[in-house]
């Protein structure tokens, strides 16, 4: 695993820890934002592992779907996780009505999702699924 990939996974792990702290303090929209970044950094690590550097959040979402989910290299649900986290993050950060509707349950589910996604990415870049 090269340094860029490792660094992205470290950032993803740290971001997941931050999301848990926010959740524990009942900051549910902020939890959703941080869980998105966990997923985004983990997905970017996988793309880097494949030699692709993607510059935008949208690009990570699209390329992850194309390279991994649609080809069956990972389960399709992981592509859905990236897309859903992307949309929730937009709502949590920019849409005040949606932001107020982000409940404890939504944040808790996103924590589980981000945890599962990060575990999958860590296994993938270690070569057990590539």
With beta carbons less than 8 A apart as the criterion, state whether 79 and 65 touch.
yes
63-115 pLDDT, tens per residue? 999 999 999 999 999 999 999 999 999 888 887 766 678 899 999 999 999 99
Between 101 and 49, where is the model more confident?
Answer: 49
Does position 129 have pLDDT exceeding 60, yes or no? no
**pLDDT confidence of residue 90:** 87
Q: CB-hemisphere CA count at 13 Å for 46?
A: 30
* Domains observed in the chain: 3-123 (1.20.120.330)
> In terms of pTM, does the model score above 0.95?
no
**pLDDT confidence of residue 44:** 97
Name the H helices within the chain.
3-24, 28-49, 57-64, 76-94, 96-100, 104-125
């Amino acid at each position: 695993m090269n340094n860029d990939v490792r660094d992205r996974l470290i950032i993803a792990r740290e971001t997941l820890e931050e999301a848990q702290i926010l959740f524990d303090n009942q900051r549910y929209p902020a939890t959703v934002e941080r869980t998105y970044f966990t997923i985004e950094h983990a997905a970017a690590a996988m793309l880097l592992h494949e030699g692709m550097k993607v510059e935008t959040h949208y690009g990570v979402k699209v390329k992850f779907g194309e390279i991994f989910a649609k080809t069956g290299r990972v389960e399709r649900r992981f592509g859905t996780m990236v897309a859903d986290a992307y949309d929730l993050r937009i709502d949590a950060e920019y849409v005040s009505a949606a932001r107020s509707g982000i409940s404890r349950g939504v944040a808790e589910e996103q924590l589980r999702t981000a945890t599962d996604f990060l575990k999958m990415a860590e296994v993938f870049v270690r070569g057990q699924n590539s």
